[in-house]
Amino acid sequence: MKRHLISAADLTRDDAVLILDTAEEMARVADRPIKKLPTLRGRTICNLFFEDSTRTRISFEAAEKRLSADVINFAAKGSSVSKGESLKDTAQTLEAMGVDAVVIRHGASGAPYRLANSGWIDAPVINAGDGTHQHPTQALLDAFTMRRRLVGRDAGLGKDLAGRRITIVGDILHSRVARSNVDLLHTLGAEVTLVAPPTLVPVGVETWPCEVSYSLDEVLPKSDAVMMLRVQRERMNAAFFPTEREYSRRYGLDAARMARMPEHAVVMHPGPMVRGMEITAEVADSDRCTVVEQVANGVSVRMAVLYLLLGGSEPAVTAPSRTEETK
């Protein structure tokens, strides 16, 4: 494992499988009466969020607290950043406070890389999403969810996703989730196909390790997992498709389209979902949709990443004490 987690493309196949296997151990903690490990007791982790987030910030905070770390939450709104403080000054303030790791989300692509490689701070940096660039822990939790559903919870240990066919549908242009998933799924041996309107396909996509299609109906029967993406209107400065109804008609997932998928295939979405446009309520609420599982798995995967980056030399999970078992 590298010192920082900035991009899914930085992970080797062995790194990624190690994180997924460690996450399986962490997931067992959720089944215990006391969902907490002493692994990072005495360590301080700062969640440095320059961009609004709900589920990612809460997921990281839950993971940190389950590992017994001390947590500092920083939001740019109402902080010295709104008074003009730079990323460098903020980083040096955290360095002076002795934080042991920084989780950063930033609207500018490359900000986590800059923080990790500038020398401003001597602590592992974890990218929680930067601009339209990368969101590596989202890709890891997606791969973890796919491996559990398509290979099996215990049968998947030590295995990757070789030969699995994954379809990613929607706003590829503005999606750091899509970029991260293409990189990680390719590393894990999966075959990825992107499906989107031509206006929402990035320039240079031909250099990505994936296929591109403009027909969702042709790809669905060959897919083991279909990942629907959120249309990111907040990042759009023009009209990328005629109407929501037209988008839904060509690229939305409804029950009729889901029926064209193989029986074992699953439906995924990083959330938040726009029901009625990207995905119908019938599909979102079906047993084949993994959205709620993805949220739960996110905590386990982030626990695994924090544990591995902060260099735990002892087993992450030990048998529960007799006291815990009897509570």
Active site residue ranges: 55-56, 83, 105, 135
Query: What single-letter amino acid sits at 174?
Result: H
> Is 88 annotated in some ligand binding site?
no
Q: What is the DSSP string of 186-213?
A: HHTT-EEEEE--GGGS-TTGGGSSSEEE
Task: Tell me which amino acid residue 63 is.
Answer: A
Annotated ligand binding at 133? The verdict is: no
Residue 202 in marked binding region: no
Place of tokens 């692509």: 109
Q: Is 84 annotated as a binding residue?
A: no
Strand boundaries in the chain, DSSP class E: 44-49, 70-75, 101-106, 125-130, 165-169, 191-195, 211-213, 225-228, 266-268
Q: List CB contacts of 91: < 8 A, sequence separation 6 or more.
A: 102, 115, 118, 120, 121
Residue 232, marked binder: no
Q: Is 57 annotated as a binding residue?
A: no
CB atoms within 10 A of CB 304: 27
- What token pair was written down for 209? 């390790």
55 is in an annotated binding site: yes
The response to whether 235 counts as a known ligand-binding position is no
Binding-site sequence positions for carbamoyl phosphate: 55-56, 105, 135, 138, 271-272
Binding-site sequence positions: 55-56, 83, 105, 135, 138, 176, 230, 271-272
Binding-site sequence positions for L-aspartate: 83, 176, 230
